[in-house]
Amino acid sequence: MNAVTPFAVPQDSPFGPDNLPYGVFSTAGGPRRLGVAYGDHVLDVGAAARATGAAGELAGLLEAPSLNPLLEAGRPAWRQARAAITAWVTAEEHRAAVGPCLVPRGEVTLHLPFEVADYVDFYASEHHAANLGRIFRPGAEPLTPNWKHLPIGYHGRAGTVVVSGTPVVRPSGQRKAPAEPAPSYGPSQRLDIEAEVGFVVGAPTPLGERVELRDADRHVFGVCLVNDWSARDLQAWEYVPLGPFLGKSFATSVSPWVVPLDALTHARIEPPARDTEPLPYLDDRSARPPSGLDIALEVRLNGHPVSRPPFAAMYWTYAQMLAHMTVNGASLRAGDLFASGTVSGPDRDTRGALIELTWNGEQPLELPDGTTRAFLQDGDEITITATAPGPNGTRIGFGEVTGRISPAR
Ligand code: CA
């Protein structure tokens, strides 16, 4: 960039001028405002729009207390907003006007960045699906017959998607181990995580229309981190034949920052080689640019790194997930969230769930404090972070999604 950088951030900042992720913040009990993370600050974009005399339509979108109006406005508006905000933080002419709109990150409270419309969770990692197949169906084919023909998913509970930092109350419910004669009710004994990447839908579609693979980027605004908390004992007893229900719906945590897809240009890669020819509506072999994303995740348990799942290894891409999710004519709404499913790589220390990391509890993790974990204990804190390549050797940061387990009520 040739312009002088008035609000310079270090080259290694995860929130440099090429990222500019959106979130919703407040200060000292004040109203919620739309912000963009920049270095160690949050830019109040509504205030910056007013201070710089931005066009009325753009200013209106940025002055909203949620990302949803901008989401709904579609890609031309997303580009216009990104260009304006980039200029505000990099061009000398805006320094005096924009400077007062930067709030130190330590002074803000971050909220859910968008109102979640519908929530869908996929199962797009071959390594994760195969590991669970080996754990639950030993001796059988690890993958179900449909797995390589369609991205498997289910509809989750949008109303219990919570922002990072929200305590997660240990869920109670029905469970029955195979050896037990009857089900019992009580707090989950096998509370787990699923480290995932979430995609935030912007531009809506009318009922009856599908989104073609090549049009995915018209509808996907950006990316966040997701922890799909999972009670494995509740899940195991309830999931046949209709899939996940109460073992998942008690809470799903998301990171407070939504990284625009436009910030991930340098992270785009070919998905891994696939050995099954997809039906034409899922065939992305000639898609340019490719929709694989080189996002490197890290999972920490009580501050101790336990896994580094590679999103680059995912079998199905976000464009294929979106094409499949709408192929029956189901409409999209601004604020729809679809998540990738657990991100797991080929190696043990790249698995994104405790059930895989501990092989269903048989090989507990050893933590530096001398304790071991098969599944989560009350008071445990899980933090998922991620970065992706940016231009000129920079890293695009996703911030973090964190949550601590509270005792059952
Ligand atoms: Ca999941």
Residue 278 CA to ligand 1 centre (angstroms): 23
Cα distance between residue 400 and residue 391, in whole Å: 21
Q: How far is CA 323 from CA 151, 327, 374, in A?
A: 10, 6, 37
How many CB atoms sit inside 10 A of residue 11's CB?
Answer: 10
Is residue 2 predicted with pLDDT exceeding 50?
no
Q: In 3-state terms, what secondary structure has residue 197?
A: strand
Both tokens of 48, joined, read 């910056």
Residue 402 DSSP label? E
Q: How far is the CA of 319 from the centre of ligand 1 (A)?
A: 18
| Max intra-chain CA distance, the chain | 74
pTM equals 0.97
Runs of H (alpha helix) within 211-340: 216-219, 232-238, 318-326
Query: pLDDT higher for 254 or 54?
Result: 254
Sign of the dihedral defined by the CA atoms of residues 90, 95, 101, 104, in that order: positive
Question: Given the DSSP bridges, would you call strands 102-104 and 41-44 parallel, antiparallel or unpaired?
Answer: antiparallel
Quick one: pLDDT at residue 6?
58
> How does DSSP classify residue 189?
S
Catalytically annotated residue among 41, 94, 128, 324 = 128
| Portion of the chain with pLDDT greater than 70, in percent | 99
pLDDT band at 113 (very low <50, low <70, confident <90, very high): very high
3-17, 68-82, 224-238, 240-254, range with the lowest pLDDT = 3-17
Tell me how far the alpha carbon of residue 12 lies from the centroid of ligand 1, in angstroms: 31
Determine the distance separating the centroid of ligand 1 and the alpha carbon of 123, expressed in angstroms.
7
8 A C-beta contact, residue 369 and residue 363: no
Residue 55, pLDDT score: 87
Count of positions (residues) in the chain: 409
**Phi-psi domain of 292 (left: phi exceeds 0; alpha: psi -120 through 50; beta: other):** beta
Helix (H, G, I), strand (E, B) or coil at 365: strand
Q: What is the DSSP string of 27-91?
A: STT---EEEEEETTEEEEHHHHHHHHT--HHHHHHHTSSSSHHHHHH-HHHHHHHHHHHHHHHH-
Q: Is 128 a catalytic residue?
A: yes
pLDDT exceeds 70 at position 3: no
Residue 200 region by backbone torsions, left for phi larger than 0, else alpha for psi between -120 and 50, else beta: beta
Sheet bearing 296-301, strands edge to edge: 168-169, 395-406, 381-389, 296-301, 304-307
CA of 213 to the centre of ligand 1 (A): 23
Task: Please tell me the distance between residue 121's alpha carbon and the centre of ligand 1 in angstroms.
Answer: 6
Is the confidence at residue 1, as pLDDT, over 90? no
State pLDDT tens for residues 374-383. Answer: 999 999 999 9
Distance 4 CA to ligand 1 centre (A): 44
Give residue 83's identity as a one-letter amino acid code.
Answer: A
Q: Which has more pLDDT, 55 or 115?
A: 115
Q: What is the CA radius of gyration of the chain?
A: 21
**Across all residues in the chain, what is the average pLDDT?**
96
CA torsion 143-290-400-163 (nearest 10°) is: -80
Joined tokens for residue 400: 């973090």
Instruction: Tell me how far the alpha carbon of residue 296 lies from the centroid of ligand 1, in angstroms.
Output: 18
Can you tell me the mean pLDDT for 353-358? Answer: 98
| Residues paired with 404 in a beta bridge | 381
Q: What is residue 366's three-state secondary structure? A: strand
